[in-house]
């Protein structure tokens, strides 16, 4: 069943990494797509997309965005990488809490059928084993404390709308693994670790500087797989539920850097590990059984293929700007 064909879909955060890729996929499913834009110009130029200029910290902009909408994908967020989180962690707090609260309120008032919130695996405590959905203890890795509480409280708000009121609205919470792929943020100040390393490889940095010692262990998932998981979750879940969207695999950061170097043919690359730079959680594994059981979801993109496609996308962008 394709609930998306001719359905009115709002992608909040239409110029962000997840939002841009989601819009592209929704168009192939025959959806009528509206997307919010704020400070950035539209990334995808297509007459089939209705772009709405909106500051989602303002109630009236949220109301305008959701009017006539069937399904809301809440992808809008003030996000960043380790550097910003280390120096100015409060940038994640107020704008995101306000946006999420106002978008839930506006969606509820216009009878949106379903609301999907993109949360984060930062809500999990430090674990040696893959984190399961019910492992949330509200004890967070210290450097994630602010962003994790922001995401966690937003999850609880979703639960309120779905389970604590007389006329509930279906809300779905997805907690992705570390996402990578085309249209990611490659800016030095705000990028996450994989796009930052891909940029250093493509631009032939000598040496390639890696923050930390490169031994971090993460679950990385290609953006197309995340979009598939989100679409399945919106389609299949009614009421309230929360689930991981991840590859279920573990990757050591320095191994992935070597894969990048090999794929892009950077012969003689020198790597310099800089332990003085800020890093985040040293190990994060994610359990994927729930998504497989209730959605039949499994990530399909091998890490080498995903990295290759991401490098190709960034190299085309880089070459076009030279």
Q: 266 with 189: CB under 8 angstroms? A: no
CA distance 209 to 206: 8
Q: Give me the phi and psi of 243, to 5 degrees please.
A: -155, 155
Distance CA 113, CA 70 (A): 5
Mean of the pLDDT values across residues 45-60?
96
Beta strands in the chain (DSSP E): 8-12, 32-37, 49-53, 71-74, 114-118, 170-176, 178-180, 208-211, 217-218, 220-222, 240-245, 251-252, 271-274
pLDDT of residue 1: 62
Considering only residues 4 and 142, tell me which one the structure prediction assigns the higher pLDDT.
Answer: 4
Q: What's the half-sphere exposure (Cβ side, CA atoms, 13 Å) at 221?
A: 30
**Is a pLDDT exceeding 70 seen at residue 101?**
yes
Supply the mean pLDDT for the chain: 94
Question: Could you read off the pLDDT of 246-282 as tens digits, one per residue?
Answer: 999 999 999 999 999 999 999 999 999 998 887 788 9
Burial 250-278 (b: 16+ CB within 10 A, else e): ebebbebbebbbebbebeebebebeeeee
Residue 119 has pLDDT above 90, yes or no: yes
Rounded mean pLDDT of 40-50?
94
Task: Please answer whether residues 175 and 245 qualify as being in contact, where contact means their C-beta atoms are separated by less than 8 angstroms.
Answer: yes
Neighbouring-strand partners of residue 240: 171
Which residue has tokens 């109630």? 59
State the pLDDT confidence band at 85, using cuts at 50, 70 and 90.
low
Residue 161 burial (CB count, 10 A)? 20
Radius of gyration of the chain, Cα coordinates, nearest whole angstrom = 19
Share of the chain above pLDDT 90, in %: 87
Residue 44 has pLDDT above 80, yes or no: yes
Q: What is the 3-state secondary structure (H, E, C) of 53-84?
A: ECCCCCHHHHHHHHCCCCEEEECCCCCCCHHH
> What does the pLDDT look like over 139-168, one tens digit per residue?
999 988 999 999 999 999 999 999 999 999
Band (pLDDT 50/70/90 cuts) for residue 320 is confident
Q: Which CATH architecture has domain 8-179+220-247+284-300?
A: 3-Layer(aba) Sandwich (3.40)
pLDDT recorded at residue 129: 96
Task: Tell whether omega for the bond before 207 is within 30 degrees of 0, i.e. cis.
Answer: yes
């Amino acid at each position: 069943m394709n609930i998306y064909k001719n359905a009115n879909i709002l992608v909040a955060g239409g110029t962000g990494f997840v939002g841009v890729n989601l819009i592209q996929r929704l168009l192939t499913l025959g959806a009528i797509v509206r997307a919010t834009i704020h400070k950035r110009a539209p990334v995808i130029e297509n007459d089939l997309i209705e772009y709405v200029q909106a500051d989602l910290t303002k109630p009236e902009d949220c109301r305008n965005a959701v009017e006539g909408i069937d399904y809301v994908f809440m992808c809008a967020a003030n996000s960043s990488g380790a550097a910003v989180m280390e120096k100015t962690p409060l940038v994640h707090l107020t704008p995101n809490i306000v946006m999420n609260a106002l978008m839930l309120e506006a969606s509820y008032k216009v009878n949106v059928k379903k609301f999907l919130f993109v949360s984060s695996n930062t809500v999990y405590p430090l674990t040696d084993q893959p984190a399961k959905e019910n492992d949330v203890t509200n004890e967070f890795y210290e450097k994630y404390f602010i962003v994790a509480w922001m995401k966690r409280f937003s999850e609880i708000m979703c639960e309120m709308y779905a389970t604590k009121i007389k006329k509930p609205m279906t809300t779905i919470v997805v907690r992705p693994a570390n996402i990578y792929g085309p249209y990611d943020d490659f800016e030095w100040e705000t990028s996450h670790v994989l796009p930052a390393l891909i940029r250093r490889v493509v631009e032939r940095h000598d040496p390639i500087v890696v923050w930390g010692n490169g031994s971090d262990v993460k679950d990385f998932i290609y953006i197309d797989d995340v979009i598939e998981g989100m679409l399945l979750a919106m389609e299949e879940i009614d009421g309230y539920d929360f689930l991981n969207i991840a590859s279920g695999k573990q990757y050591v950061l320095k191994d992935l850097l070597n894969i990048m170097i090999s794929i892009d043919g950077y012969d003689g690359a020198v790597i310099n590990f800089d332990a003085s730079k800020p890093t985040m959680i040293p190990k994060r594994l994610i359990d994927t059984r729930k998504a497989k059981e209730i959605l039949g979801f499994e990530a399909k993109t091998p890490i080498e293929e995903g990295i290759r496609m991401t490098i190709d996308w960034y190299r085309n962008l880089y070459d076009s700007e030279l």
